[in-house]
Chain A
Amino acid sequence: MTGAIRALLVIALIALVTFFTRLLPFVLFPEGKETPPYVRYLGKVLPFAIIAMLVVYCLKGTSLLTWPYGLPELIAVAAVVALHVWKKNTLLSIGVGTVLYMVLVQFVFAT
């Protein structure tokens, strides 16, 4: 079963590299030592910027130039924002937004 051993090695390699990317900053800037002010500044502002990036990341596959022109995404995201500003209930915003989006892509804008 060399196929299985090869697959195991591939998975182990992926696990190692993934952990490396997560571990690196903690090795570079260990707890005992003073973290440079510039790095602390980045740590303060980056979470805001990265969450914005993750929103874009989730929507990256949306095509604005072909039908349905990103309308399901636009409507569902707008609904989540509006509902969340109004009710401030995380589960409600996510639940309603997701069901709305599913209805939109499965029925309303079905291709």
Chain B
Amino acid sequence: MQKETSAKAQKVKLALRAAFPMTIPVMVGYLFLGAAFGILLESKGYGFGWAALMSVIVYAGSMQFVAVDLLATGAGFLQVALMTLMVNIRHVFYGLSLLGKFQNFGAKKPYMIFSLSDETFSLLCSAEPPKNVDRSWFFFFIALLDQLYWIVGSVVGGLLGSSFSFNTQGIDFAMTALFVVIFVNQWRETKSHAPALAGLACSVVCLLLFGADNFILPALISMVVLLTVVRKRLDRPEEEATT
């Protein structure tokens, strides 16, 4: 019994140690973005406790910034619900991409689904655990560490409030750089660049057509349509025995 628990503790520790380095880019971005959120929320009269509450139970970066506005302007519940749905509808597509990945995650699965932020999604897509490391614990710690950074960042921001004067303009580029790096990695790892190019083309075209505030949903829909149209060419028969 003793041996069993210590073996399990060893497994968990190994996974944590393997997961941590993967999350460092997100740590940098989340600490600063989270702080920016906490500062903004505090400036509207909601102290660090509110920031902590939102980062624990909502945990959605861009939506929390929108939520500051919704709280400050006293928006109605229907408006809040619709706004949240619009801002976060992209997460439906993240889940679709990860259906297979979370199989056999057991009790960790609900948290994996709850914590699917943009950045965690991108790490889950790109990171692979080393051979001797437990898969589900590895991905679980990536998700958990990411949320902890976000919570710490937002609480610190709420505590510091407006006394925070270090010029951090441009620090949010850490997130852009993270996505660019993952894009480059994916590009080098596959021969078929069509999905990446389809995503890029649809996003740019929709950004130009619909503007910065409204392009996400049309971009996602158009890339699904485009990828569906070219499915026969992209879907290799050896991986799809049923078609």
Contact = CB atoms under 8 A, between A and B. Distances in A.
A53 B167 CA distance: 29
A48 B190 CA distance: 10
B196 A94 contact: no
Contacts of B43: none
If over half of A's interface residues share one DSSP class (helix, strand or loop), that class is named, otherwise mixed; here it is helix
B173 A97 contact: yes
A43 B103 CA distance: 14
**Chain A interface residue number, banded:** 35 or more
Contact of A37 (B70, B180, B207, B240): B240
Contact of A51 (B90, B102, B179): B179
A43 B100 contact: yes
B174 interface: yes
B80 A10 contact: yes
A71 B166 CA distance: 24
Interface residues of B, number: 94
A38 B225 CA distance: 12
B35 interface: no
18 contacts: A6-B74, A10-B67, A13-B80, A14-B67, A22-B114, A22-B116, A23-B113, A40-B240, A47-B125, A50-B93, A50-B97, A56-B200, A56-B204, A77-B177, A90-B181, A91-B25, A94-B25, A98-B173
10 closest A-B pairs by beta carbon, nearest first, are: A49-B199, A25-B95, A52-B199, A48-B195, A102-B170, A56-B203, A58-B176, A101-B173, A17-B84, A45-B195
Interface of B: 21, 24-25, 28, 46, 50, 53-54, 57-60, 63, 67, 70-71, 74-75, 77, 80-81, 84-85, 88-100, 102-103, 109, 113-114, 116, 118, 121-122, 125, 167-171, 173-186, 188, 190, 194-200, 202-204, 207, 212, 215-216, 219-220, 223-224, 227-228, 231, 234-235, 239-240, 242-243
Given A14-B58, A21-B88, 5 more contacts: A21-B89, A21-B92, A26-B95, A45-B195, A76-B173
